[in-house]
Amino acid sequence: MNRLEAMELAEESEHCLRPAEAFALIGDETRVAILEALWQIDEQPAEFTTLYEMTETDNSAQFNYHLNQLTGHFVYKHDDGYELRTAGERVIQAVVEGSFNAHPDIEPFETGDQCTQCSGSLVATYAEEKLAISCPACGRTHGQYSFPPGGLIGRDEQAILSTFNQRVRHLHCLARDGVCPRCSGQMKTRVARGDDCCLDSDLRAEYTCKQCQHSLCSPIGLVLLDESAVISFYRDHGLDLQATPYWRLDWCVSDDYTTVQSTDPWVIAVSIVHDADTLTVTLNGNLAVTDIKRDTPRSVS
């Protein structure tokens, strides 16, 4: 299903507003203020009086009119008050994260890490709401992924990197598990080959939401960051994989350690090497793990 088909399906549903109607409903400062007040109130449902006082609206009749316009699509109305629907939460979250009203600009800065290919200094750059990690010396990219501008606000460079690392892990792990990180719809997984502007990898995993058409892509190895066998492998070497930025791991940023054993069906092996110790994880076309082997060299006495 493409984006046009998804929009047509939404328009045909009796439960969905047309996009223009949905945006028209929130195109008023009072209505946005109501949604923001509901988002800030800890105990919900919120009483009418509490909500009215928080929005500081001069006219109660006007306030009531705008509240009624939001009810049903962005706000639930209960016998004892009001609370946000998921759609209302999304509107306020978009404002808070900066998607609508924040456009910060930061200069490129060094991450303090080395390129997995040439050991040059990695640099982080931010443009068009995407953060990229790359090596100016050899040109290798170490991933370029969505990062809302709100993630930059109030954080220094190291905090930005840490947040970005956790975000990339979270989004792609959700996608691999079949859950759209944007709308919680079903994600379709496919293995693809060919050039991709944001990856230094011929082979990649692609995820597309069947509901909202949100898409993600990554090198195959990135899906193994939360795999228990891989976490244990690093723990055996005294390393905390979950605290390690993904761009330090060659198998997460390229396909140098990825071997295609079959394409029909897909059989893909990712070799993770540390101190001559090798863990080979085999996956199928859905990126489910089908086999794990470890080759640990025997110590010479």
pTM above 0.75, yes or no: no
Over residues 45-53, mean pLDDT: 89
Two tokens at 225? 């960051």
- Quote the pLDDT of residue 153: 82
Domain 3-97 maps to which CATH number in 2.60.34.10, 1.20.140.10, 1.10.10.10, 2.60.40.1080?
1.10.10.10
Would the pLDDT of 12 be above 50? no
Place 277 in a pLDDT band, splitting at 50, 70 and 90.
very high
pLDDT at res. 9: 40
Please state the domain extents for the chain. Answer: 3-97, 109-221, 223-295
CA-to-CA separations, 26 to 3, 47, 63, in angstroms, rounded: 23, 21, 14
Identity of the amino acid at 74: F
